[in-house]
Structure 1
Amino acid sequence: MKKGIIYAVLSYLTWGFLPLYWRLFTAMPAWEILAHRIVWSFVFVAVLITVSKQWQQLKSVVASRRGLTAVVLCSILISSNWFLFIWAVNNNHVIETSLGYYMNPLISVLFAVVFLKERLSPGQWLSIVLAGIGVLIMAVQYGQIPWVAISLAISFALYGLAKKIAKLDVLLGLTGETIAALPAALAYMIYIQSHGTGIFTSLPPFSIVLLLLSGAATAMPLFWFAKSMQLLPLSLVGFIQYIAPTTSLLLAIFLFNEPFSQKELISFSFIWIALIIYSFVTFRKSKVAVLPVRQVDVQ
């Protein structure tokens, strides 16, 4: 439980600060950034796979129909999520991305109950209702259907569910996902460079280095996220995710100067109250469940 929480916090805290990273590449179209993100992520995980000598194991994973389907599905879901996030950040919609990732835990919990048959206590249900009220206030305040937020929430919740069901090795699964998206990313990069529309070669050296590091910036939080999915219930991982949108929301308000009204502050308060209640109830349940086991060990 403790290791899983550490992995989850690391992944979501990193994702919360990613708007700062992608804002460095506002001159590049979102599709080009996504292509580079996929390519350099592959390079990073390929090095890890080579060092750990797991290429043969990766072949056995994709050799089965179930494994290949899981890898391709996860690749499509996370690539779609990446593109929407990059586009939104570089088009001054950071608060809407924050809304999307506030909505995501609710959808993750719903998937956990419906597909994984996880059971929630009355206190956990109360926290979901409070968080739902907070998200609803944010959506109404937004003034229209927040399609970016909804798409981000659903795509990442489906990605988390697919990872949970597939039960693939963390590094092998992540490598398979990047390989599945690699041909399209390389083809796009070659196309734009051959037509003279690519921005990469015109970037200053420092920006090029930062873009090359996007592989590590992408793969490491995904690795931590996948590890947390192995060690924690999907419903708990969903609520720890509030770290990321809260961090992004604070960046949007205090650094990017996006407007933040009193109604949004109220919804923010509802969500954090929900998080406090859910965390308290969940840890209390896990502590009670572990106690009898420890007593038996002592006897």
Structure 2
Amino acid sequence: MTAKLEERNGLDILTMEAMNSTFYIAVSDCKISNWKEVIFGWINYVDREWSRFNSDNELGMVNKLPIGETMALSPPLFDVLDKAGFYREKSTGLFSPYLLPQLEYHGYQHSFPFTTSKKVNTGMPNVYNEEGSPFQFHSFTRTIKRISEGKIDLGGIGKGYTVQAAANWLKHFGNSTSGIVDGGGDLTVWSNGQKEWRIGVSHPYKHNLEIAQFRLKNASIATSNVIFRSWTQGNQKKHHVLNGRTGLPVESNIIQATAITGNCLDAEVAAKLCLMVESHKVKEQIPVHSLLLITDDGKIINE
């Protein structure tokens, strides 16, 4: 995962636990005095309303919506689902927000940490093809209509959206000259050109061992690997990165991918896609500045 190496001198800092991650937010010269209260509230809101482990929140209401019925969504949830659909189309279905039944089938039924899960006796639920979707989206009214069975898990893209929205608000509304919003390794940094952020990337097995360092002024980074959130189900090793076309945990010689892009959603999706397809295909779909890949035999590839 991505590690911070930034000195705290001259920065106003907020740290908090949410989404099973540690959030670290640091800004300079923010013009809004109660920015910590606003950002704390935003991150807690997402943690509460978008968690798939809480069936009584807004996402839970969407997942329980009966076929044929329509539901109005809050602007943030509609927006993140709309963006998730965009990435699903761009990746021709490799990335998908409609993998909750498959995640549960593979044993990801409660929040980490856990090391084992019970085997599910039923068959794996079918996945949607790239054209299919359980919902129809209506942008003008910000409503969705359920047209078939299927459930949403926002996972990494939900956290990436949260990070990017917080960074955008601090930069554009708070007029902060520089800052970082880091949600457990999914992060965005910005600067007026004078500040340079130093970001380190940790080894997939040894989190205290740094394998690379980047110096950035305006960029986003996300790291995805098949080690951190993994478990045993019966005699099978499982992890949380699923192929949207098959519903199966991805199998690749790449065990960790770090993507540097212009925004955190691009970085989050690009990092996951690098675990599924060749990096040049990822770059054809998403504007990537650079990639750092680690193979299962320990080779580091910097592109």
TM-score by length of 2: 0.31
More helix by share: 1
More strand by share: 2
Question: Which of the pair has more CA radius of gyration?
Answer: 1
TM-score by length of 1: 0.31
Of structures 1 and 2, the one scoring higher in RCO (CA 8 A, sep 6+) is 1
